[in-house]
A = this chain, B = another copy of it.
Amino acid sequence: MTKKLGKHSFYFANPPVIISTGTVVGPFERESRFKDDFDHIFDEALAGESSFEKAERKMMLAACYQAMQKIQTPPEHIEFFLAGDLLNQMITAEFSALELGIPFFGIYGACSTAVEGLIMGSVLIDGGFCNLVMAATSSHFDSAERQYRYPTEYGVKRKPFAQRTVTGAGAAIISVSGEGPVITHATVGEVVDMGCKDPLNMGAAMAPAAASTITQHFADTGRSPTDYDLILTGDLGTVGYDLTMKWVAETGGFDLSQNYQDCGVLIYEGIPRPEQIQAGGSGCACSAVVFYSNIYKRMCRRELRRVLFVATGALLSPTSSMQGENIPCIAHAVSLEMR
């Protein structure tokens, strides 16, 4: 007998606890409704560095140090560091791991990386391999646009369904015990491809993966949407949000209309420059900075008792896109609750 549930899920016998989080963002995110929830807002996209890539690294490290400071824990006490990011060869995570000096697992699931880190970190703890790990992820609008689409200096006009990569980083410290939301279940996604080829329309590409993982989570665990105070996807934006709600209803028969939200919709909702964000936020940092700031705090205050957190990743590569291939996607989910 294992802790496996159905094909994609498992439970944690001794649910690991997120005892601390850290979030930092760039200057554009100062306009977000969550601005008061972030630990730090950098005044410029370069964060005082000579390149956007170095700025992103500074942000990942800043998020990690914020999380560690809150519980007065130095890097030497963290047993493993699990991190990934969108830049080629994951340089943000690797150079951060170099500075932190913590034994390192590199993980990659594009914007699903935040939840992949929570799952693998919880597996290490509940499996009895260690007591304290840190999971982190990041993204940066300027470094991501340059790598995946066009350098921002070109000033390319963006399509109405495009999303804006969130600049920032989030880190979570997961412990075998302590105060905070516990991770009770994980649902591991499979790679899904519904034929989307447009690297500017990520929400539509990712929605089938989100719908698949949410439906699978309910099937595997026997739960339904009403078991959650909040079902939160990572960075689908307005286009992907609507599609996910529709597909979960059509394929799974579950009604998400009461308690479903998306970090990509939430993070920039109501900001004064809608032409900059179109369909919403995206990037690894999108779900990380929303969940680890506002949602985490609301869970700690017990305003939210049980949350299903579903991070979605578009496994976009300029190489395969230019070779005419579709964009496969994946979504991973964790159930969190306050006990």
**Given A4-B130, A107-B106, does the pair A98, B328 have CB atoms closer than 8 Å?**
yes
Q: How far is the CB of A124 from chain B (nearest CB, A)?
A: 6
A325 to B97, CA, bound (A): 15
In the complex, what residues of B have CB within 8 A of residue A310's CB? none
Residues facing B in A250-286 (CB within 8 A) are: none
Asked if A336 is at the interface (CB within 8 A of a chain B CB), the reply is: no
**Given A53-B320, A107-B105, A131-B2, does the pair A191, B97 have CB atoms closer than 8 Å?**
yes
Q: Mark A75-116, 1 if CB is under 8 A from B, else 0.
A: 000011000100111110011011001111111111000001
A108, B127: Cβ atoms under 8 Å? Answer: no
Asked if A330 is at the interface (CB within 8 A of a chain B CB), the reply is: yes
Interface-forming stretch among A6-14, A19-27, A151-159, A238-246?
A6-14
B323, A104: Cβ atoms under 8 Å? Answer: no
Report which A residues bind B (CB closer than 8 A). Answer: 2-4, 7-8, 10, 13, 51, 53-54, 79-80, 84, 87-91, 94-95, 97-98, 101-110, 116, 119-120, 123-124, 126-131, 147, 176, 188-193, 315-320, 323, 325, 328, 330
A320, B91: Cβ atoms under 8 Å? Answer: yes
B10, A97: Cβ atoms under 8 Å? Answer: no
Q: How far is the CB of A127 from chain B (nearest CB, A)?
A: 2
Which of B8, B98, B193, B316 lies in contact with A89, CB distance below 8 A? B316
A328 to B57, CA, bound (A): 14
In the complex, what residues of B have CB within 8 A of residue A79's CB? 4, 7
In the complex, what residues of B have CB within 8 A of residue A131's CB? 2, 4
